[in-house]
Structure 1
Amino acid sequence: MFEYWSDGFSASLRRVVDPPQPVLVDLGLAIPTRGHLGGTATMRIKAGGLHVAGTVPGLLYAWARTTEGTWLGLVGFAIVTGNRRGRVEVKQWCDAAALSRPDGRGRPRR
């Protein structure tokens, strides 16, 4: 995943998590949305659209530092539809603030 990013710094700006570590993903922070603009969503949208609220389990694969100094975690997780009949499996970079440990002991180690 980091084959095109050379890192010659003594304190690395990236880290692979091997084996991947279980985490909880706060979808509201990982995938911020502006909410529905201009009225109420139809039942079709509420049932079939992706539900990007709440917390879901995921697997943390890597950490990377941004130019602002914050950390991003590469996380795999599923986003279910409103009616829970469908889902989309994603693997994306999420702000560290969106990640927590499943045992409730704060943020995952970087």
Structure 2
Amino acid sequence: MFDNWQLSSQYPTLFAVSRPVWVNTARPLPPSGARMDEVPLFVRSEGLLVEPRMPGHLIAWLRRSDGSWIAVVEVELFSANRRSRTTATLWLPAGDVSPDDEQSA
């Protein structure tokens, strides 16, 4: 993913990591606000299930030009009936990621 990122030894801006984390998905992927009784049953069962807080895997920290950090996180996503799944790579503000102390211990 970062094959073309020039690494600086004096002022590093990229740190590759591998760590389980919790991801606050409520801000980058907010709920639609639709009433569940108005959504067709096949959509509710086969659509992508996004919870407000989900487990993920932190793969990198990348420093922005304004000095803040972005967490690069992979999250495994499932359909509500768990028959379908995909992995999403999310680029999130540092505040939307927290350590998963239970898994990393």
TM category (shorter chain) comes to 0.7 to 0.9
Structure 1 residue 13 displacement after superposition: 1.6
* Count of residues in Structure 1 that have an aligned counterpart in Structure 2: 101
Structure 1 residue 102 displacement after superposition: 1.2
Give the whole-Å Cα distance in 2 for the aligned partners of 1:68 and 1:36. 33
Task: Please state if 1:65 is matched with 2:70.
Answer: no
User: Pick from 82, 85, 88: which aligns with 1:87?
Assistant: 85
Secondary structure, counterpart of 1:46 in structure 2: helix
User: Pick from 87, 98, 101: which aligns with 1:100?
Assistant: 98
Structure 1 residue 69 displacement after superposition: 3.2
Counterpart of 1:107 in structure 2 is none
Counterpart of 2:11 in structure 1 is 11
TM-score with structure 1 length normalisation? 0.70
Q: What is the root-mean-square deviation of aligned Cα atoms in Å?
A: 2.7
**Which runs of no fewer than 5 residues in structure 2 stay unpaired?**
none
Task: Please state if 1:43 is matched with 2:34.
Answer: no
One-letter amino acid matched to 2:94? A
Structure 1 residue 56 displacement after superposition: 2.3
User: What is the aligned-residue identity percentage?
Assistant: 27
Counterpart of 1:32 in structure 2 is 29
Give the whole-Å Cα distance in 2 for the aligned partners of 1:25 and 1:76. 10
One-letter amino acid matched to 1:90? A
Structure 1 residue 36 displacement after superposition: 5.0
Give the whole-Å Cα distance in 2 for the aligned partners of 1:70 and 1:84. 36
Give the whole-Å Cα distance in 2 for the aligned partners of 1:87 and 1:61. 20
One-letter amino acid matched to 1:50? L
